[in-house]
Amino acid sequence: LTGYRLLTDECGEVFYQQIVQYMQETLGSQGVQLLLNKMSDRERKTEEADLKAKQAETGGSIDRYDSEMNQASQKSRQAAQEAENRQQQEGQISTQPAPTQPQADNPISIIKRIMKMGILELVLPPGREISTRTVSKDTMVSGRQLQQGMEMPDGVTADSSYTSGVLFQQYLMNHLGNYTDPSKESLAYQMEYVFGGRDNDIDNLKSVASKLLFIREGVNFACLMADNVKRTEAQALAAAIASGFLVPPAAVVIESALLLCWAFAESVLDVRELFAGGKIPLVKTSADWQISLSNLSSLMEGLDSMRKNNEHGLSYEDYLQVLILPVSKEKKVMRAMDMIEDAIRKKGRANFYMDSCVVALEAFAEVKANRKKEFQVIRQYCYE
């Protein structure tokens, strides 16, 4: 043998290109184009949502709110103390309690507590078991020292095209399990492993749920900012809260915190609906909105009664596919090989190793025929 190529060579490039070729032949040119159009549109909208979520997060609305309220509380106590001191100096004893400003219902403190809860507790519907399966990563393709083939003249050229990436990922969606359709072999949530790369189903599910909540929060915050009716509601409540704390100038900061809390609450309902098997539109209209400002304080009581399915939206699997698109090619390929290799082992082939799969070889021979003729032969054989 003068050369051979293994399935895992070049960081799994051989494995990757076999899948891409298979998908091209299976879908045909028209099917490939339809898939590309759908994924590129979703990816663009999700990237915009991701950016808006980061902008909302870096705005520090909650932190600024805490700072303003602390200052307001200090000023209020200071003013009360000064008033009491003046009365004592003037020899007056007040028998009447100081008048208090009626305070509006403030949901921000409640939502702040909910934000600190465990993500799966918030978004997973009741009555469904969560997989607790684990894998040993040091025995898998991505965690062990792989065998290497012998270099052949026609080496493998890396394929980094967007089309191939989409086709490869679609293959994984078709063949690997996820939360809504768990695998019976290896990890139950294999696509979540491709995204998160953790060695257990729970942590991978948490990573997907957290990212979904983050994306939905960005989209919903942008929807609130563009909705004049909801903005007016938030402004009115913020003004009432600010008056109650005797700090009218803080109304702007309170409004920002309210909008962020409102977007978060709506996002919790969104992600919970997705995990329950429903659909949520990527970008919402007012008609799609689930929770009112007045119900923010009752979010935990309405986790299942407030959320609603939208048949024109995207499913959990649709969102999952969009989340995985930005994951680097190398990580996706290695993690996919992890899951496929482990699944084959669980099917009864305990000694199966992807880096023992020969996909091409070259052989050299010297031949003598009839004791008269001598010649040399080189042949290559490979999977096309």
- The answer to whether residue 250 scores a pLDDT higher than 60 is yes
Q: What is the pLDDT of residue 109?
A: 87
Q: What type of residue sits at position 91?
A: G
Q: Output the pLDDT for position 60.
A: 55
Task: Please give the share of the chain, as a percent, with pLDDT higher than 90.
Answer: 51
- How much of the chain, in percent, has pLDDT values that exceed 70? 84
- pLDDT of amino acid 175: 94
CA distances from 5 to 23, 62, 224, 363 (A): 22, 56, 55, 12
Task: Flag whether pLDDT at 167 surpasses 80.
Answer: yes
Where is 16: in which H helix or E strand?
helix 9-58
Q: Which of 99-103, 148-152, 190-194 has the lowest mean pLDDT?
A: 99-103
Q: What is the DSSP letter of 181?
A: B
**The pLDDT of residue 99:** 47
Q: What value does the mean pLDDT take over residues 43-51?
A: 76
Looking at residue 382, its pLDDT comes to 85
pLDDT in tens, 206-221: 999 999 998 898 889 8
Measuring CA to CA, how many Å separate 148 from each of 4, 137, 151?
Answer: 9, 20, 9
| pLDDT the model gives residue 62 | 62
